[in-house]
Amino acid sequence: MYLGANWKMNLFRNEAISLYSEIVKLGTTNNNCELIVFPSIIHLSELTAVDPKHLGSQNHAESEGFGAFTGEVSLQQIRDIGISTVLIGHSERRELFHENNEVIKTKLSHALNMGFHVVFCCGEGEIDRRNGTYLDFVSSQIKHAFSNISKEMMQNVVIAYEPIWSIGTGNTANNDQIEEMHSFIRKQINDMYSINTANQIRIIYGGSCNANNAASIFSIQDVDGGLIGGASLKLDSFAKIIEAACSHTLK
Ligand code: PGA
């Protein structure tokens, strides 16, 4: 199982250090679960002193090197502090920061070319869900992002399916909806690459996953873990989610 904690723009420095330290202790006692925490970028460097292995960056600049990009952080700078995982394509970046499919494709190909592991997010909004066009929508997000990504590079990719209508709303997708989309995504990877790539890739679910529903979601066919926002900000709820993930065999 693969578990990501997306802290978004939350927590003070001391809170981040203490929560991350506790999470690392829980995560490293069980080998069945790969655990990556995405804190605010400002805390990344300091948290590497606790343990760099379980950290990822929520964002990076579209441009890979240095340059005149005020306020941005580059992949080279992220790698320089010992971080090897990045999150790309989150719906909040797409919607609030206007990252379209083209920007996401560039960020993805730079990160994979530099040897990063990537958690790539996709997912439809409420209108596509209601109109029945949600499979097409997610399919086009994936086709666009991965159009110039090789089969070898796919070994470093985890896909997070996150329906926008379920993120932070408490309105979790139901098990049938999750199963349908995850098996669809796996089939799409099979069509674009190979059966081996499709079988190996981890497809995780995000969107109001919490301590009460995690075990049920993780037991769904084709679900290989979760990307957790709100419920990863409190140790008691995230500890229960880690426990639910760790009781499954490694994928
Ligand atoms: P949520 O967020 O768990 O708070 O719904 C998930 C995410 O945005 O990755």
User: Is any ligand 1 atom within 6 A of the Cβ of residue 230?
Assistant: yes
Residue 208 Cα to ligand 1 middle (Å): 6
Ligand 1 atom index nearest CA of 231: 3
Residue 215 CA to ligand 1 center (angstroms) comes to: 16
Q: What is the pLDDT of residue 29?
A: 66
Q: What pLDDT, on a 0 to 100 scale, did the predictor assign at position 239?
A: 96
Choosing from 34, 43, 162, 182, the catalytic residue is 162
Q: Please list the pLDDT of the chain residue by residue as tens digits (251 residues).
A: 999 999 999 999 999 999 999 999 987 666 678 999 999 999 999 999 999 999 999 999 998 889 999 999 999 999 999 999 999 999 999 999 999 999 999 999 999 999 999 999 999 999 999 999 999 999 999 999 999 999 999 999 999 999 999 999 999 999 999 999 999 999 999 999 999 999 999 999 999 999 999 999 999 999 999 999 999 999 999 999 999 998 875 44
Structure tokens at 47: 């948290």
With contact defined as beta carbons under 8 Å apart, do 6 and 87 qualify?
A: yes
Pocket test for ligand 1, best of 59, 172, 228, 232 (most atoms within 8 A of CB): 228
Residue 89 Cβ contacting ligand 1 at under 6 Å: no
pLDDT for the residue 248: 73
Does residue 208 have its Cβ closer than 6 Å to ligand 1? yes
Q: Comparing C-alpha atoms, which of 55, 148, 56, 64 is closest to residue 107?
A: 64
pLDDT at 251: 47
Asked whether the beta carbons of 160 and 120 are under 8 A apart, the reply is yes
Nearest Cα residue to atom 1 of ligand 1 = 229
* Residue-level pLDDT at 64: 83
CA-CA distance, 60 to 80, in Å (whole number)? 13
Whether the CB of 229 sits within 6 Å of ligand 1: yes
The residue whose CA is least distant from atom 7 of ligand 1 is: 229
Ligand 1 atom closest to Cα of residue 208: 5
Q: In whole angstroms, what is the distance from residue 168 CA to residue 103 CA?
A: 24
The single residue of 60, 90, 110, 182 carrying the catalytic annotation is 90
Ramachandran category for residue 97: left, alpha or beta (phi over 0 → left; psi -120 to 50 → alpha): alpha
Q: Is position 90 annotated as part of the catalytic site?
A: yes
Q: With a 6 A CB cut-off, is 56 part of the ligand 1 pocket?
A: no
Structure tokens that stand for 171 in this block: 């309105």
How far, in Å, CA of 189 to CA of 37, rounded? 26
Cα 35 versus chain centre, distance? 11
Catalytic residue check, 22: no
As beta bridge partners, residue 204 has 160
